[in-house]
Amino acid sequence: MNNLKEKVKNIYVTRPYLPPLSEFITYLEQIWESKWLTNNGPFHEKLEKRLADYLGVEHLALFANGTLALVTALQALRITGEVITTPFSFVATAHSLLWNGIKPVFVDINPETFNLDPKKIEAAITPHTTAILPVHVYGKPCDVEEIQKIADTYGLKVIYDAAHAFGVNYKGESILKHGDLSTLSFHATKVFTTFEGGAIVCPDAKTKKRIDDLKNFGYADEVTVVAPGINAKMNEFQAALGLLQLKHIDKAIDRRCEIDKQYRKELSSIPGILPLPLPVDSKYNYAYFPILIKKEYPLLRDELNEKLRQHGIYARRYFYPLISEFPMYRGLPSAAQLNLPVAQKVASEVLCLPIYPDLQLDIVQKLCDLLNYARRR
């Protein structure tokens, strides 16, 4: 057991793929020589175009981080009142609503996909509802057809939090084309990273112009401010890393796929550990590897998580607690536990295992051996 511990220690949930340092230094030298560090520099402009081409979308606006992208997307569509969203997400999803003075209304999740359950949305709509903010959890596409049908019926906007969905296609086209806007995160833990960073995918040039104004303090030109915008621009250093990441992203996703397959093979014989099924009709990005710890497994989820940490394996209870359980949200009627039974159950069972391109397959096997060993103790 000690030998096993040595082989698997210091394994983390996710690490970014980083290109060779020499490539990055070359770009840094170019930035330094140009003395253009931010404000729509050449690296920023090049990354916007190349990302739009890679993702198969017409218009994309880069941001300093994914949270600012969410906040600005709501501003761009002038969303007010109440917005229906999920409790099973990173807290930035709901925080973006509060920053805009919007009331979150939580709706339960689908037990198969962990995404917002369309069957629960209509009952939560009130005269104050203006939009739906679903999340493609772990990069698995939401039921975009049903959500859009509801939005069209009630005249609602749809903004997708696609923080996990970089490069994901659904039925042959980018998942980012659905809804009125989609936002991405390029945080260091994501499949594609610019250290920090994010983007809004826009349907047309007019919307992109408004978003570009909003992310630059509301300036439309040198002397004209058209809205109370914010400073959310991506700098040249972030954009440079993004351009290098993009050169290697397909190889990194292919490697994640191999690791995902290895996990599924090794875990198939361990009772009580249930990997989340892969999405159908989709080109997936393998952003996370979530498992559910069921009653057949002798350890509770939190007990297993602690045992893994003792061996230097940093899994993550992602997402726990639910957003609805944090102090600024739990007083909302929609945050009541009885309103969110599926989300409550999933949050108590889910554990995301380490997955990143440099993770070796023999280490995946050793990690799964540890899960099996812990079960037998």
Q: For position 6, what pLDDT does the model report?
A: 60
Q: Residue 8 has what pLDDT?
A: 63
Identify the pLDDT of residue 74: 98
pLDDT at 18: 78
Amino acid at 57: V
pLDDT for res 62 = 98
Which segments of the chain belong to CATH 3.40.640.10? 21-244
pLDDT tens column, 61-112: 999 999 999 999 999 999 999 999 999 999 999 999 999 999 999 999 999 9
Please name the residue that has the structure tokens 């391109």: 357
d(CA 157, CA 20): 42
pLDDT of residue 239: 97
pLDDT tens column, 325-340: 999 999 999 999 999 9
Residue 39, pLDDT > 80, answer: yes
DSSP 178: S
Q: Domain 21-244, what architecture? A: 3-Layer(aba) Sandwich (3.40)
pLDDT at 2 over 60: no
Question: What are the beta bridge partners of residue 116?
Answer: 109
Average pLDDT, the chain: 95
Q: How many CA atoms lie within 13 A of 91 on its CB side?
A: 12
- How confident is the model over 16-31, as a mean pLDDT? 87
Give me the mean pLDDT over the 294-299 stretch: 96
Residues of the chain with CATH 3.90.1150.10: 2-9+249-376
Query: Residue 106 has what pLDDT?
Result: 98
Instruction: Please give the C-alpha separations between residue 234 and each of 98, 163, 228, 238, in angstroms, as whole numbers.
Output: 23, 16, 19, 7
pLDDT band per the 50, 70, 90 thresholds, residue 20: confident
Q: b/e per residue, 239-256, with b = 16+ CB within 10 A?
A: bbbbbbbbebbeebbebb
**63-67, 194-198, 248-252, 370-374: which range is least confident on average?**
370-374
Domain 2-9+249-376's class?
alpha beta
